[in-house]
Chain A
Amino acid sequence: MKSSKNAITPEIRAKERKSFRSRLKRYAPLYLLALPSFIYLIINNYMPMVGLTLAFKKFSFAKGIFASPWNGVENFSYLFGSKWAKIMFKNTILYNLVFLVLGTVFAVTVAILLNELVNAKLKQVYQTVILIPHLFSMVIVGYIVFAFLGGTNGFVNSHILTPLGAKAINWYTKAKYWPVILTIVHLWKGFGFQSIVYYATLVGFDQSLYEAAMVDGATKWQQIKSITIPLLKPTVIILTIMSLGRMFNSDFGLFYQVPQNNGMLYTTTTTIDTYVYRALMMDNDVGRSLAAGFLQSILGFIVVMLANFTVRKVDENSALF
């Protein structure tokens, strides 16, 4: 029975692929089912995009979005022309790359570890506990980091460096340490949450593949290498492409609240978002803030198109669109 179906299927598919109209008809109920989702995205996401024009306008609260006067690219100029331009673009991109690579590796590893665990009770405990950091706001994370790195009473200085006879470090005035600190904080906060996606994908796999492999005498490591990782690949690719779209955005809380906006750390903690926030803090300039967002989106868009194009060339099914 199984084999007979498999034999027919490609033929059916081939036949139906010919007819655009029959496919349209077949999927009509599914289109209909997804209609509310379409409408929602149009209302919630596409209609407000009218506001993107404000990136090129001097927004007047009295005149509104449409009647505000155009001002060319004036809203963009504050982002360039000072030493900060180089600092913020460099930081934003480099942190994102590091976070993407390490974050993915870390999350996938944890998902596989969880999947390999036998004890169901412990598994549940781990799964709950590693989610905790994700539940804290970045302000709270900032306090926790301070508890560790405070100059006088911080855990690292008072319990590690001083007892070892090393000199206490004034962490909040030494910019060079912060790339490492922020990476650790980012991974710590996000790994539990990120690994859920991979774990959910893992437990949903056809277990018969593993059973077959076990019968063939494959070791755990071989199973992971030749079954688990290939099966996770599409998810990894999709999540990576989505992250690339946000290549020029940054987690504001991580870069602003965690270093507690300490000036001496700006060279390694300033990203596009924190610079924009600081610049616009007191004048609520809607146009300038949208200009920055627009620039980030456009650059992210270009990166995604390139990435998606490349993926499509290699493996059409893994592409995002």
Chain B
Amino acid sequence: MGIVNKKTQFILNLIMTILALACILPFVLLIMASLTDEVVLTTQGYSFFPSKFSLDAYQYLLSAAGRILRAYGMTIFVTAVGTTGNVFLTMFMAYLLSKKDLPFRTAISFFVFFTMLFNGGMVPSYLIWTEIFHVRDTVAGLIFPNLFLGAYNIILMRTYFTSNVPEEIIDAARIDSCSEIGILFKIALPLSRPMIATVALFSGLAYWNDWINGLYYLVRERDLYTIQNVLNTMVSNAEFLQSSAAISSFQSLNISIPTAGIRMAIAVIAVVPVLIIYPFFQKSFVKGIVVGGVKG
């Protein structure tokens, strides 16, 4: 048994290592590309061992260091607030729908799911958020439109509640005259830590990577830009400066901007914080929730 187990573990680790390498090597390639001289990048392509290094891309980013740091702060704030709100709204709706004998259950499920299929496009959404709720040029414009609650997470969590929180325990709690809200907070949520972490991760990543809200709703308040907005602006400016439309008339361009290198460098600095934070989420993915113990 022991030997078989060891062998199995070895094979499992081998497979996972291969998959992990497939994910990490391109990332390393990206880091190397961000450090490669632009001309070398164009003529010799991407390489793990570039023939000429250059820090131009990071230097260009450094020229906006103050703005980038402020934008990081903004992103962290928006992500924290937005994700917290999202997780609670998701939990409450999902828990409601997980009740199998809930009146109007099918109708409400349909109501939620329908939002995944149909949307009215960016113009009506913009009109509602700006003309009725006046979120334009405020932090609210980064938090509320689109990202605050989504059907996907609700349905994911509902499924988790129905398949992972045994009805027996809930019934037992009812008999102990625990209120429905009490059951949610005392039993269902503690049993659902892995899924809460998952939803928080999904929502957090959505906020972290979002630049659409900043683009649509921060027209006159660029001071509120998030990191993705700032980085996007830099890419777009660098690209535009390279494009022939600008270059034929821009008599003032006397700096060299490494477009491809900047893209890579930006990808690196946007990804690294997530990789630092992610292990904290993983603490919630711990096995060993033994329902039998709760039943006691």
Contacts and interface: CB of A to CB of B under 8 A. Distances in A.
A320 B121 contact: no
Interface string A182-207: 00000010011000110111011111
Given A44-B125, A196-B201, A208-B292, A30 B260 contact: no
A152 B42 CA distance: 11
Contacts of A108: none
A64 to B, nearest CB: 8
Nearest to B149: A40
B96 A31 contact: yes
Given A117-B16, A317-B100, A36 B92 contact: yes
Contact of B171 (A9, A128, A317): A9
Given A126-B19, A144-B29, A321-B110, A8 B175 contact: yes
Interface in B77-121: 89-90, 92-93, 95-96, 99-103, 105-107, 109-113, 115-121
User: Top 5 closest A-B pairs, CB basis?
Assistant: A153-B45, A51-B120, A51-B124, A321-B109, A147-B46
A244 B282 CA distance: 30
Instruction: Choose among B23, B110, B290 the residue with the greatest number of A CB atoms under 10 Å from its CB.
Output: B23
A150 B45 contact: yes
Nearest to B46: A147
A139 B263 contact: yes
Contacts of A27: 96, 99, 102-103, 180
B289 interface: yes
Contacts of A41: 111-112, 115, 149, 151
B124 A242 contact: no
Contacts of A143: 30, 33, 46, 260, 263-264
A162 interface: no
Contacts of A36: 89, 92
B23 A206 contact: no
A65 interface: yes
A63 B123 CA distance: 13
Given A8-B175, A117-B9, A242 B96 contact: no
Interface in A1-59: 2, 5-6, 8-9, 12-13, 16-17, 20, 23-24, 26-27, 29-31, 33-34, 36-38, 40-41, 43-52, 54, 59
A124 B279 contact: yes
A93 B155 CA distance: 24
A253 interface: no
Interface stretch (B54-62, B245-253, B270-278): B270-278
Interface stretch (B66-74, B191-199, B217-225): B191-199
Contacts of B167: 9
Given A135-B271, A154-B45, 13 more contacts: A43-B133, A48-B119, A48-B120, A48-B125, A51-B124, A114-B16, A117-B12, A132-B271, A191-B19, A197-B156, A205-B289, A246-B116, A317-B162
B178 interface: no
B290 A206 contact: yes
A170 to B, nearest CB: 15
A200 B283 CA distance: 12
B8 to A, nearest CB: 7
Contacts of B90: 37
B44 A117 contact: no
A197 B260 CA distance: 34
A59 B159 CA distance: 40
A293 B121 contact: yes
Contact of B175 (A5, A20, A40, A197): A5
A220 interface: yes
Interface of B: 8-9, 12-13, 15-17, 19-20, 22-24, 26-27, 29-30, 33, 44-47, 89-90, 92-93, 95-96, 99-103, 105-107, 109-113, 115-121, 123-125, 127-128, 133, 144-146, 148-149, 151-152, 154-156, 159-160, 162-164, 166-168, 171-172, 174-175, 179-181, 184, 191-195, 197-198, 201, 205, 209, 260, 263-264, 267, 270-271, 274-275, 278-279, 282, 285-292, 295
A59 B123 CA distance: 11
A154 B29 CA distance: 13
A188 B23 contact: yes
B125 A153 contact: no
Interface residues of A, number: 106
5 contacts: A27-B99, A40-B149, A132-B23, A135-B270, A242-B116
Contacts of B171: 5, 9, 12-13
Nearest to B211: A137
Interface of A: 2, 5-6, 8-9, 12-13, 16-17, 20, 23-24, 26-27, 29-31, 33-34, 36-38, 40-41, 43-52, 54, 59, 65, 110, 113-119, 122, 124-137, 139-140, 143-144, 146-147, 150, 152-155, 188, 191-192, 196-197, 199-201, 203-208, 220, 231, 234-235, 238-239, 242, 245-246, 286, 289-290, 293-294, 297, 300-301, 304, 317, 320-321
Given A286-B121, A304-B117, A44 B148 contact: yes
A49 B120 CA distance: 4
Contacts of B128: 43, 47-48
A37 B253 CA distance: 51
Given A9-B168, A45-B115, A54-B121, A208 B291 contact: yes
A114 B121 CA distance: 39
A130 B96 contact: no
A200 B195 contact: yes
A52 B171 CA distance: 44
Nearest to B271: A135
